[in-house]
Amino acid sequence: MAHLGSRRTRAMALPVGLALTVSLGFLPTGAATASPVHGRPAAAATDGPKLSYVVNTRGGQGTVKQVRKAVEQAGGTVVIAYDRIGVLVVHSQNPDFAQSIRRVKGVDSAGATRTNPIVPQATKDIGVQQPLTAQQERSAAAQATADQDPMEPLQWDMPAIKADKAHQKSLGSRKVTVAVIDTGVDDTHPDLAANFDRDASANCVSGAPDTTLGSWRPNTGESPHGTHVAGTIAAAKNGIGVTGVAPGVKVAGIKVANPDGFFYTESVVCGFVWAADHGVDVTNNSYYTDPWLFNCKDDPDQGALVEAVARATRYAESRGTVNVAAAGNSSQDLAAATIEDSTSPNDTQPVTRTIDPKKCLDIPTMLPGVVTVSATGAKGLKSSYSNYGNGVIDVAAPGGDSTVYQTPAPPATNGRILSTMPGGEYGYMAGTSMASPHVAGVVALIKSTHPHASAAAVKALLTAEADATACGAPYDINGDGIIDAVCEGGKNRNGFYGAGVVDALDAVRR
């Protein structure tokens, strides 16, 4: 599938001419769940390619300590140990490292997080942003009412989930934080700066958190994806630019994508654990974990990746965090008996394989407990690209679509989602990447309304308050007489919309 920005983020690239944007450490003192190890030599020198691994242990911290010794004897170096979830991040140049460590008592599973060796990386130039023109900004501002930010008239997505009406009752609580686990967030953006939570932000690209000031920002040439997502969640209602779904809550940036746009397991695990340990109420996850689109649990390496990320998401939820994730942009039925995957592994040479989605999971979105989000367009229909699946999709939200397929009502002019971009800019993107933050914003409003609700209770309210949406007429999105996808299920729960389109107004009603 084609993408804007990072190749693994879930933002769709639509036909040329339809969009204004075409492309574009250290552990803090007192944290109890991770113990970094620096410079400890491997027990045996090896000259194989340097790879990163996750090692999942059984038992408590005593077991982790024993396994760390075995890791070094097998030619590995521990980068960081997430003790409470029993996950170690390890680098090794021993080609037999994974096979050796799996035989160690106390090891549940272990696997390489990539198929391409670790190499020093430089910032990758992915293209130039194309922001709104001055004339477009003036035109939008002229349409705005007294209680709207200047570009709100172009945000068809906010009325679609009743966020505009919700804002008349509540903007959300400053005590609620949503973490954007993504490509980085530009916290200097004038629509984000006032709501940014630096204490809950970090760079997790190495697998260990780095809290250096600004480490969570995208570098020059890196994807604007995370900044766009952050604006949809919590762009301030401040008389400039756009407005987020929950403009009164805080937003944090947890950077997990490397300069080449890959979201590797060690980074994702770090992101969830960091969020859990720093009071984050909601995480937004608009990506899939590289290099496998689907990770098959019966494969020793891929199964270990599933287990590591699952442990991290469960840990976050146990600390009260609601994890929200994008369903993906491949127009695939995630509830089908089989799915063709020809994109994995994406960091070396992909192979074509047929997978069973009950055994091979897209992580984190298909993990138990994670809220899985499909995308809708300006007409309220499933977006042309959005994945779907009866029993897989939990809720739906605006992600945008080609204006050819779903045209918004005036004064909006573009079928994509308008939000913040690095450098104080604004632009359009589309994808389930854009749908997920709408849901994260609604979850933040629910948490603001019910501050003592558990993660499970918040998720129950999210689905109960969603606007049930029936499958409707046979889905022929381009009108060529060929059915493009089949929606299964009833009005209250189906494969296109799950429990329905999220409702921000209901979220703020006590």
Active site residue 3: no
Name the DSSP class of 382. Answer: B
Domain CATH for 75:
3.30.70.80
Q: List all residues 6 or more positions away from 473 whose beta carbon is below 8 Å from its beta carbon.
A: none
pLDDT of 407 strictly over 80: yes
pLDDT of 302 strictly over 90: yes
Looking at residue 293, what is its pLDDT? Answer: 98
Residue 362: inside a domain = no
Mean pLDDT score, 360-370? 98
Mean pLDDT score, 108-122? 86
- Written in H, E and C, the secondary structure of 408-436 is CCCCCCCCCEEEEEHHHEEEEEECHHHHH
Tell whether 90 and 220 lie within a shared domain.
no
Tell whether 138 and 108 lie within a shared domain.
no
Tell whether 387 and 488 lie within a shared domain.
yes
Which residue, of 80, 112, 144, is where some domain finishes?
112
Tell whether 72 and 208 lie within a shared domain.
no
Looking at residue 135, what is its pLDDT? Answer: 59
Q: Mean pLDDT in the chain?
A: 89
- 201, 384, 433, 436: the catalytic one is 433
Residue 301: inside a domain = no
Residue 144: inside a domain = yes
Segment among 108-117, 124-133, 134-143, 274-283 with least mean pLDDT: 124-133
Determine the Cα–Cα distance for residues 116 and 119; give it in Å rounded to an integer.
9
Tell whether 56 and 158 lie within a shared domain.
no
* Omega before residue 345 within 30° of 0, cis: yes
Range of the domain at 239: 134-269+374-507
Instruction: Give the residue carrying structure tokens 């604004």.
Output: 426
Strands (E), 245-319: 250-255, 282-285, 295-296
Looking at residue 133, what is its pLDDT? Answer: 54
Active site residue 100: no
Q: If you write DSSP's letter for every residue of 83-128 in order, what string do you get?
A: GGGTEEEEEE--TTHHHHHHTSTTEEEEEES-SS------------
Percent above pLDDT 90 for the chain: 82
Tell whether 166 and 265 lie within a shared domain.
yes
Determine the Cα–Cα distance for residues 419 and 411; give it in Å rounded to an integer.
16
Which residue, of 53, 77, 112, is where some domain finishes?
112
Give me the torsion for CA of 242, 449, 268, 296, rounded to 10°. Answer: -110
pLDDT of 89 strictly over 80: yes
Residue 302: inside a domain = no
Determine the Cα–Cα distance for residues 3 and 472; give it in Å rounded to an integer.
29
pLDDT of 62 strictly over 90: no
Residue 291: inside a domain = no
Tell whether 60 and 144 lie within a shared domain.
no
Q: If you write DSSP's letter for every residue of 444-479 in order, what string do you get?
A: HHHHHHSTT--HHHHHHHHHHHSB-----S-B-TT-
Q: List all residues 6 or more positions away from 248 whose beta carbon is below 8 Å from its beta carbon.
A: 170, 171, 172, 173, 174, 195, 234, 237, 448
Q: What share of the chain is helix, strand, coil (3-state, %, to 5)?
A: 25, 20, 55
Residue 12: inside a domain = no
Residues in the chain: 510
Determine the Cα–Cα distance for residues 366 and 91; give it in Å rounded to an integer.
27
Looking at residue 467, what is its pLDDT? Answer: 98
Asked whether the beta carbons of 438 and 161 are under 8 A apart, the reply is yes
Tell whether 262 and 189 lie within a shared domain.
yes
Domain CATH for 257:
3.40.50.200
Tell whether 394 and 489 lie within a shared domain.
yes
Active site residue 91: no
Tell whether 102 and 153 lie within a shared domain.
no
Q: Which of 420, 424, 34, 437 is nearest to 210 (CA)?
A: 34
Residue 336: inside a domain = no
Looking at residue 313, what is its pLDDT? Answer: 98
Residue 66: inside a domain = yes
- 182, 281, 290, 467: the catalytic one is 182
Looking at residue 148, what is its pLDDT? Answer: 82
Looking at residue 126, what is its pLDDT? Answer: 32
pLDDT of 197 strictly over 60: yes
Q: If you write DSSP's letter for every residue of 26-54 in order, what string do you get?
A: -PPTT--SEEE--SPPPSS---S--EEEE
CA distances to 226, 233, 336, 406 from 253, in Å: 8, 12, 34, 31
- 91, 189, 225, 228: the catalytic one is 225
Instruction: Give the residue carrying structure tokens 């992600």.
Output: 399
Tell whether 104 and 155 lie within a shared domain.
no
- Give the end-to-end CA distance of the chain in Å, rounded to a whole number: 42
Residues in a beta bridge with 66: none
Number of structural domains found in the chain: 2
For 421-478, how does the pLDDT look when each residue is reduced to its tens digit (9 = 90+)? 999 999 999 999 999 999 999 999 999 999 999 999 999 999 999 999 999 999 999 9
How do 107-112 and 51-57 pair as beta strands?
Answer: antiparallel
pLDDT of 128 strictly over 70: no
Tell whether 468 and 425 lie within a shared domain.
yes
**With bands split at pLDDT 50, 70 and 90, how would you rate the model's confidence at 10?**
confident
Asked whether the beta carbons of 86 and 63 are under 8 A apart, the reply is yes
Residue 139 backbone class (left: φ over 0; alpha: ψ -120 to 50; beta: rest): alpha
How do 51-57 and 87-92 pair as beta strands?
Answer: antiparallel
Determine the Cα–Cα distance for residues 358 and 379; give it in Å rounded to an integer.
32
Asked whether the beta carbons of 150 and 240 are under 8 A apart, the reply is yes
- CA-based max dimension of the chain: 69
